[in-house]
Amino acid sequence: MLATDQVVALVGVGILLTALYLQAESFVAPLIPTIALQSLLLAVLLGWLAWTEHSVDLAVVAGVVVAIRGIGIPWVLRHQIKAFRWKVREIHAAHRVTGHALAAVALAVIAWFVFEETLGPVFPSPAYALPFVLLVQGLLMLATRSNTLVQVIGYLEEENAIVYAAAILVGGFPLLVEIVVFLDVLGVVLVGVILSIQRDVTGTLEEGQEETLSG
Amino acid sequence: MTPSDPTVWLFLVLVAPAAGAVLALIPLPRVSEWSARLAALVTLAAALALLAIAPSEQWGSYLGIDQLSEVFLVMVAGIYTTSTWYSRRYLRAVSHPYLGVSTYYALLAAFAFAMVATLVVSDLGLMWIGLEATTIASALLVVLERKPTSVEAAWRYTIIASAGLTIALFALILLYGATGTLNIFRLAENPPALSLPIQMAIALALVGYGTKVGLFPMHTWLPDAHSEAPSPVSAMFSGVLLPTALYAFVRVYRILPSPPVALSDLVLGFGVATALVAAFLLQRQRSFKRLLAYSSMEVMGLAVIGIAIGGVALYGALILLVAHAFAKSAAFYCAGNVLQETGTTRIEDVRNLGSRAPWTGAAWVLAAFGVTGAPPFGTFLGELLIVTGALATGNVLLAAAIVTAIAVAFLGVNSQIGRMVFGGGSFENPSSTGHRLSERGISVAYLNVGIALALGVVSLPYLTEAIRAAATLLGGSVP
């Protein structure tokens, strides 16, 4: 029988690897199954915690993560790619894949170090720093990528970091189910509504292809 | 239930904008418009009633108000009401809008509801949900005018503000782990001991909520969204959305009765950097709406400085926020009239407003004085108190930085608006001397400028007292 700390560490390594792969890939299509895989790994962890701690809330959250982030939003993203077939590779990122990958690794190390220095004494295992590392990876993706679909994936990664943190750092959180559902509604709004408007009005998903927003 | 029962007014302040959002969906433009107006008026009446009869009240574990939330409620309800009134004039002149009239008013009411909900909940988790809901409700309003630039601005706003708010949520998770509760009244009764997780939570909340407040360097969404949104929505963004996000941060920051120096210095650093960067960046703006957006950012920086310093500066920050909300919304209504009548937001292309649209021009000059802290506006009083508070700390460099930001922003905003109102047409832009412009809808700008002015010269019934009480509640002092 695995101990909870072992499961947290094992799944954490898997999630970290998906996060690093997301940074280093310039094609949009492979990012979609990767973020779905990350969400499913998170759901496995949530399911394990729900079972061992007899938490209905965590079980519901695991179900929501599978349904919306593991299946629903990736399905919508795949359809968006079909609508923008000529934009399946992010032009800017393609020239900077090595730099992105190195920055992602460096930032992961820094985030882990900051967490251990500030909160390490409070938490029993180094694996508990991983939600913070994942949060920083999501931010890096948002900051460095210009393709809207990739930014949505960065945002989903941040959402995963929040659920991950709520589950392992504090063993559940008031209103967790409501917040997760709310975050996913926002995710669907982002993907479904704004991307559609963007497609209708501008015909592009990459920033910098449009009129500049300046004084 | 009687009119003196705060529960009635709490119910109304929450239900009115929600009902307005639902009723506005009726696909008859006049019905939508009047539903929104009526909902806004009821929201304002309820906010004023709460201010008058209930200094502090809690309803169960999730709802509760005190003087701080009441002051912000009046701001939100006030600007929501005037923006709803101004919207009719604005919508008439938008050709090929992306949203129908009904959808626009429904989203405007939903936006107001989300802000009101943020202010009347006593649980930090629900407060976070309310603030995130403002993003969902308002993002679509930005694309009303169907321009590629507005779509890009809406996207940036949504993704950057939401990313910031996820950091704030991470902060709340750490806070809950350290305290076991997110109820602001329980946290006020039993303040947590200073610990690393709490300091980390407050620092992350500063970055997270600070993104939505528009603090440097997380401000990048702000000038785009403010300049691309329709003017009534820009007024709500600048006037009340940014302060509502700041309110959420203050609730987290003030769980420690006396924050450690390192933490208050961090907050101070963000405030000073924001005020200075915004003051200098606004000098370079070519669009009058972006000019106003950077001015809002500068004021948020000053308010954050006041909150970090505490004492009279905290009281000054609250006066500044309230007076700025009314003055800046007035400035955006004027900007809306000018944009629709001239078809441009370029400062260089707008001249001679003083004779082409004298009422709009005069209101714009007054509003510009109001937002930049000219005496005797409430903003002047607020800024004076912040500088006084800075001097009281003995930190002359800090006081000098604040005065520099105020002076640079004052010159930048007033010189640019002065050129548009009093400057003659140029040889390159002969059209800028053109025909007389329509001034419909400008009366609400005068109303709001009047409130911003009154805050500086008289004691407004209930409101001034509530601002003083709110400052004391947060540990500030009142002169």
| Residues B117, B121, B124, B126, CA torsion sign | negative
Token pair for A73: 């939003």
Rounded to whole angstroms, how far apart are CA atoms A67 and A76? 13
Per-domain residue ranges of chain A: 4-201
- What average pLDDT score do residues A81-108 get? 75
Residue B190 carries which side chain, given as an amino acid letter? Answer: N
Contact at CB, A118 and B200, closer than 8 angstroms: yes
- What average pLDDT score do residues A36-65 get? 93
When pLDDT is cut at 50, 70 and 90, the band that residue A215 belongs to is very low
Report the pLDDT value the prediction gives residue B146, as an integer from 0 to 100. 80
Compute, in degrees rounded to 10, the torsion defined by CA atoms B43, B44, B50, B55: 130
- What average pLDDT score do residues B37-57 get? 94
Top pLDDT among A126 and B366 is at B366
Mean pLDDT of chain A: 83
CB B452 within 8 A of CB B370: yes
pLDDT higher than 60, residue A64: yes
Q: In this predicted model, what pLDDT tens digit does every residue of B149-174 receive, in sequence order?
A: 888 899 889 999 999 999 999 999 99
Rounded to whole angstroms, how far apart are CA atoms B121 and B60? 10
When pLDDT is cut at 50, 70 and 90, the band that residue A87 belongs to is low
* Residues within 8 A of B (CB atoms), A 134-193 only: 135, 138-139, 142, 148, 151-152, 154-155, 158-159, 161-162, 165-166, 169-170, 173-175, 178-179, 182-183, 185-186, 189-190, 193
Q: Which residues of A fall within a CB distance of 8 Å from B197? A: 119, 122
Residue B177 CA, chain-centre distance (Å), reads 31
pLDDT higher than 50, residue A210: no
pLDDT higher than 50, residue B430: no
Give the pTM: 0.93
Question: Residue A185 contacts by C-beta under 8 Å, 6 or more apart in sequence?
Answer: B136
| Residues B28, A193, B216, B306, CA torsion sign | positive
Which residue from A minimizes the CA distance to B151?
Answer: A198
Partner residue opposite A186 with nearest CB, options B136, B143, B197: B136
φ, ψ dihedrals at A89, nearest 5°: -125, 135
Rounded to whole angstroms, how far apart are CA atoms B445 and B44? 17
Report the pLDDT value the prediction gives residue B96, as an integer from 0 to 100. 81
- Distance from A176 to chain B by nearest Cα, in Å? 9
Three-class HEC string of A40-98: HHHHHHHHHHHHHHCCHHHHHHHHHHHHHHHHHHHHHHHHHHHHCHHHCECHHHHCCHH
Contact at CB, B123 and A174, closer than 8 angstroms: yes
First to last CA, chain B: 38
Report the pLDDT value the prediction gives residue A122, as an integer from 0 to 100. 81
